[in-house]
């Protein structure tokens, strides 16, 4: 008998980290919640990272996911911005791990392919497909929508991930 699995998707960012929680049972997807953890741009970096940590910890404790997924960081031309994004991503990986969750990581193109069928697409296509896949979905802003897309990507790939992990374990 299959069990309902609750998945937390996280779209990391220093200013705004999106989060989305879905449930999956077989091929069905159910929207649970979504939102954004924001930081105060006037604060120092360590304080902002703490805000992300505290906000994501509240989400993990409030929604008790079974698994989590985080989008991989892209590299851009601004090395300082890339480093700060990497630090925010570290918090996004750390919080679910501290809660005992396995954390999967997905490239942006893999997320788009899982949701809209192709590896390149715009935010409007993702938003539209989220509404098709989960008619009761609610999200405010692209960060929360992206986090839901990451959770859906994980829902589609979790079986393959388990088989790969088992094969590597020997």
pLDDT level of residue 52 (50, 70, 90 thresholds): very high
Residue from 11, 23, 67, 146 carrying the catalytic annotation: 11
Output the pLDDT for position 118.
81
Is 71 a residue of the active site? Answer: yes
Cite the beta strand spans of 1-134 per DSSP E.
5-11, 16-25, 28-38, 67-71, 103-106
pLDDT at 157 over 60: yes
* Known catalytic residue at 143: yes
**What predicted TM-score, i.e. pTM, was given to this entire model?**
0.91
Of 23, 67, 143, 146, which one is the catalytic site residue?
143
> Is 11 a residue of the active site?
yes
Question: 13 and 88 in contact (C-beta within 8 Å)?
Answer: yes
> Which one from 23, 67, 71, 146 is the annotated catalytic residue?
71
Q: What is the mean pLDDT of residues 120-128?
A: 87
């Amino acid at each position: 008998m299959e069990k309902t699995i609750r998945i937390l998707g996280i779209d990391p960012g220093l200013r705004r980290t999106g989060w989305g929680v879905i449930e999956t049972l077989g091929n069905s997807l159910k929207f649970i919640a979504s939102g954004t953890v924001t930081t105060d741009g006037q604060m120092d970096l360590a304080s902002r990272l703490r805000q992300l940590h505290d906000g994501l910890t509240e989400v993990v404790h409030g929604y008790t996911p079974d698994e989590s997924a985080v989008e991989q960081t892209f590299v851009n031309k601004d090395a300082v911005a890339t480093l700060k994004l990497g630090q925010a991503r570290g918090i996004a990986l750390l919080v679910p791990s501290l809660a005992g969750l396995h954390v999967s990581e997905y490239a942006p193109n893999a997320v788009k392919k899982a949701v809209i069928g192709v590896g390149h697409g715009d935010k409007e296509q993702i938003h539209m497909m989220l509404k098709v896949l989960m008619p009761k979905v609610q999200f405010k802003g692209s960060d929360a929508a992206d986090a839901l897309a990451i959770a859906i990507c994980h829902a589609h790939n979790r079986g393959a991930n388990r088989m790969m992990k088992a094969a590597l374990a020997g």
